[in-house]
Structure 1
Amino acid sequence: MSSDDSLAALRARLHLIPQVRSMQADLVADEEGRMRMAAPLAPNVNDKGNAFGGSLASLMTLAGWSLATRRLEQAGLDAEVYVADSQIRYVAPLYGDLQAEAWLEEGDWETFVDTFRQRGRARCRIAACIRLPEGGEAATFSGRFVALAKG
């Protein structure tokens, strides 16, 4: 399966989640070690006219989940990935579309994949952020994701 095909398969898997469809969230890219996701403001707006905090948290969590899931799939491994815990910081209101970016915060993917191969489980820490149109941060995320062998 080509890289584009595997990203399309992950995109289709994400779109099975009702909240992803409601948010109109979508994978944008997986490049330079970072997973990027986007969602328009309109379905994710709060009563103040800016991005709803729950949407910010969801998009960063989904970007992190997608990153860990894709790295395991690229290694030919079949796993269930869960967010175990996370910390979110809301920095500034966002009045534009949501653009999330997630990356490995600690360690390296090789160790994560090797641990999963050996034990049938592994964990990683992923950071994410949603940027403001001017380049600052609207929200930041740090989460621990756990991968478990299926079955």
Structure 2
Amino acid sequence: MSPSGIARYINGYLQAMPPVAAMDLRFGGYEDGVLTLEAPLATHVNDKGCAFGGSLVSMMTLAGWGVVMLRLQEAGIAADVFVADSEVKYLAPLFDDLVADARVADDADWDGFVSRLRERGRASLPLLAGVRLPAGGVAAECRSRYVAVAKG
């Protein structure tokens, strides 16, 4: 899929969910298995003038979900993807636009995940996500487990 096709694919899913559409998220890129989502701080500011923690975790969750959806689409597998559980760490306040990225965890077995999904119709996979600070460092990070359920 071309970069513009990936952007249309992800943005289409994001805009189809009313609570997500209200977040003003946009596709930031997809390279080497890393999906990036972006959003303006003005839409996600809290009472302290920094990014709302709920927005950070939502963006990381959506970026992880998007990575699994894209990789399954690349593998030619139709499945519904759900976040099963996650552990979030808030490390520093973010006073700038939000940039979240996600990727399959280094300790994950993508091929095994695909095999289990094809054989059993269901499989789970760990992902890592983070929200970066503009000067370097990380505002928040998340390790999540996603479950895919084959369609049909």
Compute the TM-score of the two structures, normalised by the length of structure 2: 0.93
| Aligned counterparts of 1:135 and 1:20: Cα–Cα separation in 2 | 27
The answer to whether the aligner puts 1:26 opposite 2:60 as a matched pair is no
| Aligned partners of 1:125 and 1:142 also within 8 Å | yes
What SS is found at the alignment partner of 1:84? strand
| CA shift for structure 1 position 56 | 0.1
For 2:98, the aligned partner's letter is L
Greater Cα offset, 25-34 or 134-143: 25-34
| CA shift for structure 1 position 7 | 3.9
| Aligned partners of 1:57 and 1:88 also within 8 Å | yes
How many corresponding residue pairs? Answer: 151
For 2:126, the aligned partner's letter is R
| Aligned counterparts of 1:66 and 1:96: Cα–Cα separation in 2 | 23
The answer to whether the aligner puts 1:129 opposite 2:130 as a matched pair is yes
Q: Could you say which residue in structure 2 is the equivalent of 1:93?
A: 93
| Aligned partners of 1:71 and 1:109 also within 8 Å | no
| Aligned counterparts of 2:115 and 2:6: Cα–Cα separation in 1 | 21
Residue identity (%): 47
| Aligned counterparts of 2:31 and 2:129: Cα–Cα separation in 1 | 14
After superposing on structure 2, the runs of 4+ consecutive aligned residues of structure 1 that deviate more than 6 Å are: none
| CA shift for structure 1 position 150 | 2.0
| CA shift for structure 1 position 3 | 5.3
Unaligned 5+ runs, structure 1:
none
| CA shift for structure 1 position 4 | 3.4
Greater Cα offset, 32-41 or 5-14: 5-14
Change (3 A) 1:80 1:101: same
Q: CA RMSD in A?
A: 1.3
What SS is found at the alignment partner of 1:23? coil
| Aligned counterparts of 2:6 and 2:94: Cα–Cα separation in 1 | 31
Q: Could you say which residue in structure 2 is the equivalent of 1:108?
A: 109
Q: Superposed, which structure 2 residues align to 1:2-151 within 5 Å?
A: 2=2, 4-105=4-105, 106-151=107-152
